[in-house]
Structure 1
C-alpha cells in the first residue's frame, strides 16, 4: 500500500484542546508537527502518538500524560496501517482520543516523569 500524501490526525498542543488537522505525510511534515526529531508511542486501536523525541531535553512545555510518561511539546495521533505506514484516523478513533486528551493538565515540572532521562546500556563481550 502506497502511503497517503496527506493524512487526518489529532493534533495535541500544550494547554490547548486537541483538534483535527490534515498534515503532509512525509519526513518534513512529521518533523514540522512535533517541532523536531520524532519517535512513535504505540497506543490502542492501531494508533500511534508521534512525539518529539527530545522534547524534555530541549525544555519544551509539558503537554499530556501517556501511560507512565509525560510528553513534552506538541504531538499528534495517527493511524497505523498493516504495513507500518502512518494513515488517517477514522472518525471513531478521532472521537476516542479527542475525549481522552481533552483535559490539558497543569504540570509543576517536578514530576519524576517530567525529568529528562537517558537509558545507557553496556555490553560486555
Structure 2
C-alpha cells in the first residue's frame, strides 16, 4: 500500500462544503508538453461545452499519458476554483487524479461517455 493511501482522513467536511465544489466532466481537445513546469507536466485544453466552454489546465500526468493519447479523453475537473498561475500558464481548472502505487497521477474519468459539462453529484 502506498504512503498516499495511508494518510488519515482530512478535517471533517459537511455536505454543504461538497456542494460548493463545481466538478464537471470535459473532453480534452488539446494536450501539449509543458517543459517550463518545475515537475514534468502537460498543458491541457478541456472542452466543458455550453456556458463553460474551453478551459486550460496543467497536469502532472506524464508517467501514464502521452499528449496524443489524451486527445478526446473525458476527465473530471473542479471548474470553480480561481485561476492559478503555473509558470507561463494560467490554469483555469483543477484536473482531478489519484495516485497509483508509485505516487504517479491517474486521471479521474467517467467509465462511459457522458455529455461535456455534466456535473458530479
Same-fold call, TM > 0.5? Answer: no
Q: Give the TM-score, by structure 2 length.
A: 0.26
**Structure having the larger proportion of residues in helix:** 1
Q: Give the TM-score, by structure 1 length.
A: 0.26
